[in-house]
Structure 1
């Protein structure tokens, strides 16, 4: 039976004012998984109305009460683990292991922001005048426009709203058209069941053809005070430009062209396992996925043979099977795009070690390339699929230059048994995140998460996430009468 969901505005599920709906397809079968309301700009206004109306009361809720709601939501999310696995398999063809990972990380995000609610937020300042007290106080912004992507839907759906809500803001969430339930309405259901008041979180779903118009209307509304976007660099540029045009601060977490660097003092078997996880977790559809494995020349022959053998043996197929690692991509079009990148690379001189070939619907085989020329599109483009390239280097300087040869700068992994060596290399990599003796895919909610260059700006995690969605005010108190010159 096909699911049917409406918009969530002011705590009520309501159809779009136009009555329009849109289909939510599953990539694995191509069939309709759900039918959701297709919002228009008038629905955006209603959602912002509701968020604005709820703001004063929510901002006045005690930190302890807000914390209790977030902690309850974390518990409920874990209780619904199997429902998340079914939802992600049906909506975005996510494997069960990936779904369970989403639940674990998203629950931790909720608990981390719950802890941050009562952390100190402000400073006592040294005052110029005698007898004066100066305070720097952080206060919520108001209504936040949030955009959540499909690829890690529960993690990123929760992250889109958790810190803004914890800080005392209200939110209008526009989830991806490829996963309106998992990264939008499901997250709102959990928070509503945990006790979040009506209107504090509102969700608008839309038809893909309306996405630019809906995003523009949401950001442009003068009552929206900040923007929170996770997604591709191309769309992020549009969102960031629109936010700047309306003088709205934005947190943008965008794409990556990430590398795992295997130094000459690495454990080869560990490096193979780490690189395979980095490249092929969720079929490579993670902003932190490793498109590039840079291996010291002295280890290249053994590493390449072992890595290709491991990748060839990765279980592929139905995402509902518990052992599946390489499931279908988010859509047949995504698989065609990845295949085109591989085809272009091979035509220009790259060698296929395993995989390649035409996709089967939304399925693309796990693929490893070598000898990728610089004029291949894949050299600079984010694969965002089950494809990686092995390259070699002779010196640390060469590895660093290759790792930095990208407009992106999100994350990297450096595999070494020598921590000092790894830290020296990490200090020269231009990314927001670097993991020494670990791979590139890692997310800890208490840590500052985000990129540099075209991978975005702003940080999620810990106090940085809270600060991104608050304003700093200067407040003074004079304890004695001042003397004025006239």
Structure 2
């Protein structure tokens, strides 16, 4: 059987330049296919094409065309839904139910921004009689979109859809772990009859050269990056010489605050899902359980039983309840973290590698030292700490004790407390008696080192739009 090969996509054509590298299934270490690795020269070619289309065509001034393209894109993804989901499972290792959810989320995102494409309006102000200021919202230019591996479809479309809706042209870079999924999405775009060639271009990457070139080139005006905070800082520094606008959704260390009056059955159900979706490899995953002293043991017993009951296995197996990690390197990294958790804290449930591939069962550990790197750093896996608090003020202090502020959740039956604590916790999204509810309509983004700007919702357009002031007065024309 001939394995698939993922090519670059530039100027409306598939480009096969660059050495071949393997795409590997993390669940069984088999080679799924190959991809052509890109280069700075290919980024220059793609960015030059995107710049040409932006300046020489009507794309940026044709909202109805842009809406039509996004509807066509959504329809193409819907028609290929099962193929896309199967590729996500194979390349990423997550459950098929998660892969279907991700694909449907991307379809929803494309349709949402198709609607917004035709609603972008400016304003007018008469400053003094006869003096008129017109404020026009227009596309910011060429957007560079750098996509992570953990949700390679949703996290692409949530940046690409608003960029296209705003009128930008784009250069994309998929993660090296998920090139085949990305190529399938690019095929959906290539099939859109209303999409002009060169509006969307994509260059694969095997190391860091492509990402660095996208960030550095003066041909790109906007960067939308999703990834770690450390890499986000490097992106920001790399974009500084050309003064690019930079949108960053970075790391998280989401705390879940469980108060003494919480419905523990509901909390355990929500937080098992909220912590272990995608094997915990998602920036909004519940990473810290901060529990009132009076219920700490009861909650710990319940969540331990729930975590221990999770069946870890291949994403294609309907009986699996958590899939694999992205690769063996991350498995080794997390095993070292589990060993440290046993030394610095108390292991409640010790995760173990299981079977062939990058599988790891969930881990829980108790710790109250806020200075520990186990509390401060994003661990990005199925490993969750349990901390305790004695009153509301301490709960908020603990929740705000890290440099991150992407998401959090509050579990209580006291409505006033829920709102009061939600206002006090510094995070971009706070869920009450739930965790990890995401939609195209609701903005997400971070405080602190969790990033800059917002994605999803109307504000998702902002990074890709500029405001132009046009002044006129009577008698000058």
Could you state the TM-score of these two structures normalised by the residue count of structure 1? Answer: 0.94
User: Residue 117 of structure 1 contacts residue 167 of structure 1 at CA under 8 Å; is this kept in 2?
Assistant: yes
What is the correspondence of 1:309-348 to structure 2 with a 5 Å cutoff? Answer: 309-348=305-344
Does residue 73 (structure 1) correspond to residue 73 (structure 2)? The answer is: yes
Superposition deviation, residue 252 in structure 1? 0.3
Distance 2:386 2:423 in 1: 23
Superposition deviation, residue 287 in structure 1? 0.6
Deviations 1:164-193 (A, max 9, x none): 1111110000111111232x3222222222
Superposition deviation, residue 283 in structure 1? 0.6
The aligned residue for residue 186 of structure 1 is 184
Does residue 467 (structure 1) correspond to residue 462 (structure 2)? The answer is: yes
User: Residue 344 of structure 1 contacts residue 376 of structure 1 at CA under 8 Å; is this kept in 2?
Assistant: no
How many pairs align?
473
What is the correspondence of 1:262-341 to structure 2 with a 5 Å cutoff? Answer: 262-341=258-337
Distance 2:120 2:464 in 1: 15
Deviations 1:143-163 (A, max 9, x none): 111100110111001123111
User: Residue 370 of structure 2 contacts residue 398 of structure 2 at CA under 8 Å; is this kept in 1?
Assistant: no
Distance 2:58 2:166 in 1: 10
The aligned residue for residue 449 of structure 2 is 454
RMSD: 1.7
User: Residue 64 of structure 1 contacts residue 118 of structure 1 at CA under 8 Å; is this kept in 2?
Assistant: yes
What is the SS of the residue equivalent to 1:362? coil
The aligned residue for residue 257 of structure 1 is 253
What is the correspondence of 1:60-459 to structure 2 with a 5 Å cutoff? Answer: 60=60, 62-128=62-128, 130-182=129-181, 184-195=182-193, 196-208=195-207, 211=208, 213-348=209-344, 350-357=345-352, 361-371=357-367, 373-374=369-370, 376-439=372-435, 441-459=436-454
CA separation of 1:72 and 1:481: change in aligned 2, threshold 3 A: closer
Superposition deviation, residue 371 in structure 1? 3.0
Task: Name stretches of at least 5 consecutive residues in structure 1 with no aligned partner.
Answer: none
The aligned residue for residue 8 of structure 1 is 9
What is the SS of the residue equivalent to 1:427? helix
Could you state the TM-score of these two structures normalised by the residue count of structure 2? Answer: 0.95
Distance 2:458 2:135 in 1: 15
Distance 1:240 1:169 in 2: 20
Distance 1:99 1:394 in 2: 40
Bigger shift: residues 394-403 or 314-323 = 314-323
The aligned residue for residue 27 of structure 1 is 26
Task: Name stretches of at least 5 consecutive residues in structure 2 with no aligned partner.
Answer: none
